[in-house]
Amino acid sequence: MRTYSPAAAVVNLLLGVPAVVPLWLLWYFAVNWPLAALGWTVGEPTENDGPLPWLVLCGPVVLASAALWWLANEGVRGRAGRSGRAVGGWVYWSLSAGLTLLPTGVLIGMS
């Protein structure tokens, strides 16, 4: 059983600030193509290039952000020590994802 340390919380909150960009890119992609194709949203009317340029340009940004998040959490999780609360693996990753999404949620709430 690993622990969820205050350092892990701080790392994930700090990673959540730049994570606003890839999360917005994912949302924009989803709204304009898969969700619009299902009829759940209305795509941007001036967006006529198709999804391929978005995948080519934004895919590496999203993948790099996810890799950085995973590597940072692996490092913090391995060095947690006794400074935190004992949690299982799925709880650790759920808390980490939630804390990373918090800055985006705050920005959505403020808009």
Q: Which domain holds residue 31?
A: 2-42+49-110
Q: How many domains does the chain have?
A: 1
Six-digit token pair at 7?
A: 């350092």
DSSP string, 33-84: THHHHTTSS---TT--S-HHHHHHHHHHHHHHHHHHHHHHHHHHHHT-TTSS
pLDDT tens per residue, range 24-72 = 999 999 999 999 999 999 988 888 888 898 889 899 999 999 999 999 9
Q: 62 Cβ partners below 8 Å, 6+ apart?
A: 22, 25, 26
pLDDT tens per residue, range 38-50 = 999 998 888 888 8
What pTM value is reported for the model?
Answer: 0.83
Six-digit token pair at 75?
A: 């490092």
Q: What number of other Cβ atoms are within 10 A of residue 86's Cβ?
A: 12
Alpha-carbon torsion 86, 89, 91, 96, what sign?
positive
pLDDT tens per residue, range 74-106 = 888 876 655 556 677 888 899 999 999 999 999
